[in-house]
Amino acid sequence: MLTWMQDLPNFTAYGTPTYFIYLLVALLPLGIGLYFGKRFSWYEALVSFVFIFLMFDGQSYQQAFSLVAYIIYQTVIVTSYFHYRQKQNVSAIFYLAVLLSLLPIIIVKFSPAMFGHNSLLGFLGISYLTFRAAGTIIETRDGVVKDLNWWKFVRFMAFMPTITSGPIDRYRRFAKDYQQVPSREKYLDLVAKAVPYLFIGFVYEFVIDYFFGQLWYPFMVKQALLSAPHLSWWVVGVAYTYAGHLYFNFAGYSFFAVAISYLMGVQTPMNFNKPFLAKNIKEFWNRWHMTLSFWFRDYIFMRFVFMATKKKWFKNRNVLSSVAYMLNMMVMGFWHGVTWYYILYGFMHGLALVVNDWWLRYKRKHFKIKSTKWTKFVAGFITFNFVVLSFLVFCGFLDKLWFVVPGHH
C-alpha cells in the first residue's frame, strides 16, 4: 500500500550538495519576498512540507507517520494548556501537561532498555521537538506566552531548518521573530551572515569531518578492538578522533541550520561558540550545544534551585548548587538514552561542575593565583582533555570494547 513512499528519493537534511541546490532554489522566492518586506507564509509552509516529506520518505516512511502523529499530539496538549492557563493556574494541571508532553520521549528512550527494541513512536528529531513543546508549556505557565494557536504552534514545531537536530528554539523568541518581518537592511545583514555560515558548514561537514568521521575514527576503532577487552593506545586515538567527529559534524549541521533560518528571515540561536577553547567545564557548557545547555539550565537547574530555596531543603548554598548540578547533568545523561555510558557521561559532567565550583571557592580563599596566559593554557588543557575523556564514554565505544562478545564487533 505504501510502497510508493518507500520508492521515493530520501534527502537527509544538509546531507549532500544536491540537497542545498534544491533547497536554495526553493527558498529564492521567499528571500525575494523578504527583501521587499513580505513574508510568504503559505509558500514557506509548502516548501517546509516538501522538504520535511523528503527527509522522512523512502526507508524512513514509518517515521513520517510518527512525526505527524507526534505534532498533532503535542499541539493538542500545548494549545489545551494555553487556553486553560488563561483562566486558571493549578500546579497539578501544569505538571500533568509537562508529563504528557514528555511521555513520548520517555517511551522512546526507555524502550530499548525495557523491551530490547526501539519504539515505533521514535523518529529523527523527536528529542529536539520535545524540548520545544515542553518549553512552550513552561513559558505558558510563567505567563510570558501571550499569543498561541494551533497553526502558530505547528509552524514553530515544524520549522524545517531545525526540525531534525536543532538548534532548540523557544516559542516566544521564534514567534516574535516570525511576526516582525525584518527590514530590508536587517534582512540583507542576515543574508550576509548566512553566506559565511554556509561556507563554514561545508568545510566542517564535508571536508574536516570526512577525515575525522569516515577515515580516522573508524580506523582507530578497528585497531583498538583488536586488543579487546584490554585498553591500548589506540583507545586514545578513538577518544580524540571521536571528539573531532562529534564537533565538526554537529557544528557543521548547526551552521547550516542557522544559515537557512537566516535566509528565511528567522534568527535561530547559535549552538556552538568555540567550545574547545573553554577554560573550565562551566564555560564549556556555555559554549557547547548552547541551546540544549541553556534549556537545561533554565528549566531544570534554575527551577530546582528556586524550589529548593523556597522550601528551604538545604541550609548550605554550596550543597544546593552541587545537588542541582548533579540533577541537571544526570537528567541530561538519561535524556540521551538509558545506557550505562550515557548515564556515566552525565554523572561525570555533573561531578566536574561540582569540583569546578569547589576549586574556585578554595582557590579564592587559600591562593592568590593571578590569571596569566600560562594558567589559562593549563586550565584549557585540563578542560579539553576531560571533555575528550567524557566523549569516549559517551560514544559507547567502551561498551563494545568491554562487553560485546569477542568476534562479534
The DSSP secondary-structure symbol of 84 reads H
DSSP states of 264-288 as a string?
A: TT--PPP--S-GGG-SSHHHHHTTS
C-alpha cell of residue 9: 528519493
Query: Is the Cβ–Cβ distance between 148 and 140 less than 8 Å?
Result: yes
Pull the grid cell for residue 352.
Answer: 566536574
Q: Are 294 and 272 in contact (CB under 8 A)?
A: no
CA 190/CA 263 separation, integer angstroms: 7
Can you tell me the distance from the alpha carbon of 78 to that of 58, in angstroms, rounded to the nearest whole number?
Answer: 31
336 in catalytic set: yes
Cα–Cα distances in angstroms (integers) from residue 355 to residues 83, 289, 306, 317, 319, in the given order: 44, 21, 22, 15, 12
Q: Is residue 136 within a helix (H) or strand (E), and if so which, with residue range?
A: helix 126-141
**406 φ, ψ to 5°?**
-55, 140
Which of 83, 336, 349, 409 is labelled catalytic? 336
What single DSSP character describes residue 36? T
Cβ(98)–Cβ(134) under 8 Å?
yes
Q: So which residues are the catalytic ones?
A: 336
